[in-house]
Amino acid sequence: MTPSHHPVRDLLLAYAAGTLPEAAGLAVATHLALCPLCRAEVRRLEALGGTLLEQETTAPVSDGLLDAILAQIEEPAPLSLPLLGPKPRASAGSPALPEPLRSYVGGDLDGVQWKPVVRGLDEAPVRVGGAAAADAATGGTRVRLMRVRSGVAMPRHTHHGTEMTLVLAGGFSDQTGHYLRGDFTLTDTSVDHQPTADPDGDCICLAVTDAPLRLTGPLGRLLNPFVRF
C-alpha cells in the first residue's frame, strides 16, 4: 500500500456510502474538515451514489448504468491529488481540533489529559461509540491523540494492523514523506517506518489503530511496547 497524504479513494467511497466504522469515519471526517480536495471528491461520490439510488427505486439497474457509474468512479483517485502543501499552523487561541473530532475530545487540545507512553511521546484516548476505544483486550480499534515532542524520533516499527494517522498540529517525517496539519496516512504491515517530529514544535496526531488479537495482553505489550504506536 502506498502511503498518501489523503485517504485512498476506497476509504472516501466507503465514507460516502456510510459504511465506515465510527472510528475510521471520525478520522476521515476530520481530514475532510481540513481538506477541500477530499470534500469535493466525497461530494462527487455521494452524487454518484444518489444517482444509483434513484435508479434503484424506479427500475432495475441496467448493466449499462452500472458500467457508466463505475466508469466515473474509476476516474482519478485521491492518490493523484496534489499534496496539501504547506499549511498555516494553528495560531494561539484558534481551535486546533476541527469538528467532528473536537466534539469527541470534548474541547480543544489545551484541555487534553496526556499520559506519558515513552520519553517524548504522550497519548490520550478518544472515546468513540460510548467507550474508550482502547480496548486492546478484545482486539478492537484504538482511537488516540498522540503527542510527539519536537524533534523526537519514535522507535522504528512496523504495523501489525492498519493505522490511520491524521496530523493536527506540527508535523513529522518518515521514510514515506513529510506530513503537516491535515495530512492523512494509512499504514499497514508493509510499512516499516520511523516517524520523527519536526524540530519546530510538538507534533499532535489522531491515530486510529486496528489492534490484532495476537498482540494483545500483557505478554504482547511486554514483548513489544511500541507495537501499538
Sites of contact with Zn ion (CB under 5 A): 6, 35, 37-38
- For Zn ion, give the closer residue by CB, 32 or 134: 32
Residues 6 or more apart in contact with residue 87 via CB below 8 angstroms: 34, 180, 181, 182
| Least gap, CB of 40 to Zn ion (angstroms) | 9
Under DSSP, is residue 153 helix (H, G, I), strand (E, B) or coil? strand
| Least gap, CB of 28 to Zn ion (angstroms) | 9
Residue 163 vs residues 26, 88, 205: alpha-carbon distances, Å:
13, 25, 12
| Least gap, CB of 42 to Zn ion (angstroms) | 9
| Least gap, CB of 150 to Zn ion (angstroms) | 25
For the chain, the residue count is 229
- For Zn ion, give the closer residue by CB, 5 or 147: 5
- For Zn ion, give the closer residue by CB, 37 or 77: 37
Locate 201 and state its grid cell: 514544535
Task: Report which residue type is found at 136.
Answer: A
- For Zn ion, give the closer residue by CB, 4 or 141: 4
| Least gap, CB of 31 to Zn ion (angstroms) | 6
Residues 6 or more apart in contact with residue 201 via CB below 8 angstroms: 89, 150, 169, 170
- For Zn ion, give the closer residue by CB, 125 or 177: 177
Q: How far apart are CA 181 and CA 205, in angstroms?
A: 9
| Least gap, CB of 26 to Zn ion (angstroms) | 15
Residue 4: burial class (beta carbons within 10 Å; 0-12, 13-18, 19+):
buried
Strands 171-174 and 196-197: antiparallel
- For Zn ion, give the closer residue by CB, 35 or 227: 35
